[in-house]
Structure 1
Amino acid sequence: MNLIILLIVGGLIGWVASMIMRTDGQQGIILNVVVGIIGSLLAGFVVTPLIGGAPITSGGISVTTVLVSLLGSVVLLALINLFRRGSVR
């Protein structure tokens, strides 16, 4: 059940992050889900211990975990854009 929730929330977070970074037209649903999940995992392991919370992989979804996951996805998209185009946008 946690895997299904992670996929759904990761997809939504990846979609919102791609809209924030204006890359929504360039990538499809699969890349949105991948960026959302990888961004959530990276932010969950790096940022969450610093602010004192539970990562999204623990199954608890709160406002803090969603915001941290969104931040991680936006940063991941910025890095992808930096390597792909040479500018963050």
Structure 2
Amino acid sequence: MKNLQDAIEKICELKGENMALHTVTSALLQSMHKEQLDRFIAVHAQIAELARVTLINSDLAGESVISSFDLHTQNLSTLARSLR
């Protein structure tokens, strides 16, 4: 039972960290000038594709990790494009 409790606590910690990073990212995107935002969108697309390929080729990343990465990457891209 202790291992399950530790896992639940770690998942909650990671969720909190993810939300904090999402908040910072949203604030940064909203404070960018259009030119900076356009550059971010282009660079983000390139880096996200590289990260996705890395995840796909990793023995440690399962389908749920890749699906979550795809979802959150798309959400971030949508947010950035909506601010143009």
TM-score class, shorter = 0.3 to 0.5
Higher RCO (C-alpha 8 Å, min separation 6)? 2
* Larger Cα-atom Rg: 2
Name the one with the larger helix percent.
2
TM-score with structure 2 setting the length: 0.35
